[in-house]
Amino acid sequence: MSSWRMAFRCGINGHELWEDCWEHQVAIIEYGPFDDIDLSLYPRGEPKSAWAELRGSQSHSLKRFVYQMDKDDIIYVKRGPMIVAKGIVAGPYRFDKKNRIVDPEGTPWQHQRHVRWTRYVHDIPVQIGYAQYVTLVPLDARDVKRVEKAAKASGN
């Protein structure tokens, strides 16, 4: 079992999509080159042309989401400088052909995983993981211990 910190927003400081994730009980990720591309239909690393268009941190985040995240992994939701929820991954990567989550610019967020979310009663002011601007980062045991301690201290 692995633990992750993940943000659900359009770009850096963009529109937050966390409420949509809560409503649909999913984790989501989206990068333009992968619009309408169901990665479950391709071998890992394909289509090469789409992967080549991503910046380093985007590529790492999408690869982690599609290929490394696993059932029963834990996701801590980052919203600005706060951790606002915790979830347990309940299923494999899936591609949402119904486009249930669409950002304000009309882009569907089709790359998803089913997650059982638990919202914290109080937002937790703790930064975990490295590079706060990166969408999805793995957490080590120290990070998990820090956030769980902070959650308990804040009454969650």
pTM of the model: 0.94
Q: Which two tokens stand for residue 16?
A: 């937050």
Paired strand residues for 115 = 89
CA 59 to centroid of chain Cα atoms: 13
CATH number at residue 69: 3.10.590
Q: Which two tokens stand for residue 111?
A: 């790359």
Domain enclosing residue 34, as ranges: 3-153
Split into its structural domains, the chain has a count of: 1
Which of 27, 35, 40 shows the shortest CA–CA distance to 67?
40
Give the span between the Cα atoms of 5 and 69, in whole angstroms: 12
122 within 8 A of 86, measured Cβ to Cβ? no
pLDDT tens digits along 28-74: 999 999 999 999 999 999 999 999 999 879 999 999 999 999 999 99
Confidence band of 107 (pLDDT split at 50, 70, 90): very high
